[in-house]
Structure 1
Amino acid sequence: MDQPTLITVAQQTTIEQTIKKSRFIATIAPISSEVAANQVINEVKSSLPKATHHVYAYVLGDHNEITRQSDDGEPSGTAASPVLNVITNDNLHNVIIIVTRFFGGIKLGAGGLIRAYGSSASLVVNQAPRLQRQSLTAYQISLNYDQAEPLMNWLTERVVNIDHVDYGAAVTLTLLLESSDDTFETDLMNQTNGRAQILETMPTTAWIPYQSKN
């Protein structure tokens, strides 16, 4: 069975906006466990100790098996829920968003809080680079040294990624290709006049830059 296409963020990213004198600082980060989520929460709290609220939501698992959220003192339903909605609506997995608020003296009301926390989460999601998990095929090929260097430019453009290169008696490369690519072996033999050796192929998965279908 094919694994679902998962989308996550590539790195921790932070944005800031001011709404009616309140500062909202949103941080998004990839996480692999609840321990990692708590580490990000503690890091943000330690770096912004005078903040009024540290609202967060996170999801873990291929099917969001673990979901956690905290309003951190804001009225129930006005803070963490809109943050979580941004995560799920954007089909993100294994991520945490923390929105830190410095109260500026003007109350926003329930609707204003929902918009402020939701927009802060949306801004940081749109700013963060994304990765997607893709089903791939790993090829291990062997080339003579006189073949390898001229072929590298072609391989770089032809495959998803050159995962590993080993320089021994011959040059052995591990290449990642889209599983639907059914012409690679023929193209490789054409490029090397039939001299390349395909040592092994196997299905695998990898995180690659997200390619929007829009």
Structure 2
Amino acid sequence: MLFDDTYITIENEAEGIFRDKGSKFIALAYPITNESQVKPIIAKLRAAHPKARHFCWALRLTPDRSIFRLNDDGEPSGTAGRPILNTILSHELTNILVVVVRYFGGTLLGVPGLINAYKSATIDALHQAKRIEKSVNDCYQISFDYLSMNDVMKTIKEEDLVIHAQNFDTNCVIEIEIRQSKLNHVLARLESIDTLKTKYIKTV
């Protein structure tokens, strides 16, 4: 089966800027993994830019790029959040939030001018950002008897799996990350170990 288990995001925060007729549009791009990160970022930007008029944003989430949100924050509908999102889409990025902070310069730009400004600021920020490719991984919880520890750890080491959490007692529990393209192979290896049980948690 042909399976694309990678996606493109950005490595760290990046900033871009666009000016038109006295208005200033500062675009800030952030790598994120869930929507709960948006509110604190917007609140921080509002505190840092108390004289700015608008804080418009768009995000795209999940490895399959299925979740997106946008917000015009008082700008005419379709002139801010949508051009930001379209720029994210055209760059084929996910797990990303772009916020554009607008300082109003006193001259109305009109609908085409606003669309161009929000798009141009976003493009500048994305050009400053470092793009990185990540693999789509599934998180699993595995539980097993202490006597199986050596076999389990050997498999984890040989398959280069990432451990998120572990609790070793009479019954041991480990949370691991498995790349989706290796999933069937790795699970088959793990499940061949006596006493071991697997439980899917989430995809990251």
TM over 0.5: yes
Residue 16 of structure 1: how far off its partner (Å)? 2.2
Residue 4 of structure 1: how far off its partner (Å)? 3.1
**2:40 equivalent to 1:51:** no
CA distance in structure 1 between the partners assigned to 2:42 and 2:67 by the alignment: 16
- 1:87 partner SS: helix
Map of 1:200 onto structure 2: 158
Residue 202 of structure 1: how far off its partner (Å)? 5.0
CA distance in structure 2 between the partners assigned to 1:68 and 1:134 by the alignment: 23
62 and 134 in structure 1: CA distance in 2 versus 1, 3 angstrom threshold: closer
- 2:158 maps to amino acid: E
CA distance in structure 1 between the partners assigned to 2:135 and 2:84 by the alignment: 26
| Matched residue count | 143
Alignment of 1:55-134 (within 5 A): 55-134=56-135
CA distance in structure 2 between the partners assigned to 1:15 and 1:202 by the alignment: 37
Structure 1: gaps of 5 or more residues: 136-198, 206-214
| Per-residue CA distance 1:90-135 (angstroms, 9 max, x = gap) | 1101100001100001111000000000011111001111110148
CA distance in structure 1 between the partners assigned to 2:38 and 2:7 by the alignment: 18
Map of 1:35 onto structure 2: 36
Structure 2: gaps of 5 or more residues: 137-156, 162-177, 180-204
| Per-residue CA distance 1:144-165 (angstroms, 9 max, x = gap) | xxxxxxxxxxxxxxxxxxxxxx
CA distance in structure 1 between the partners assigned to 2:75 and 2:67 by the alignment: 22
Residue 43 of structure 1: how far off its partner (Å)? 1.5
CA distance in structure 1 between the partners assigned to 2:83 and 2:129 by the alignment: 18
Q: Is the 8 A contact 2:16 2:126 kept in 1?
A: no
- 1:200 maps to amino acid: E
Map of 2:198 onto structure 1: none
Task: Indicate the structure whose relative CO is greater, using CA pairs within 8 Å and at least 6 residues apart.
Answer: 2
CA distance in structure 1 between the partners assigned to 2:159 and 2:72 by the alignment: 49
Q: Is the 8 A contact 2:79 2:115 kept in 1?
A: yes
Residue 62 of structure 1: how far off its partner (Å)? 1.4
Alignment of 1:163-174 (within 5 A): none
CA distance in structure 2 between the partners assigned to 1:33 and 1:110 by the alignment: 31
Residue 46 of structure 1: how far off its partner (Å)? 1.6
Map of 1:6 onto structure 2: 7
- 2:8 maps to amino acid: I
CA distance in structure 2 between the partners assigned to 1:77 and 1:201 by the alignment: 47
Could you list the structure 1 runs, at least 4 aligned residues long, displaced by more than 4 angstroms after superposition: 202-205
CA distance in structure 2 between the partners assigned to 1:69 and 1:109 by the alignment: 20
* Identity percentage of aligned residues: 37
CA distance in structure 1 between the partners assigned to 2:71 and 2:91 by the alignment: 20
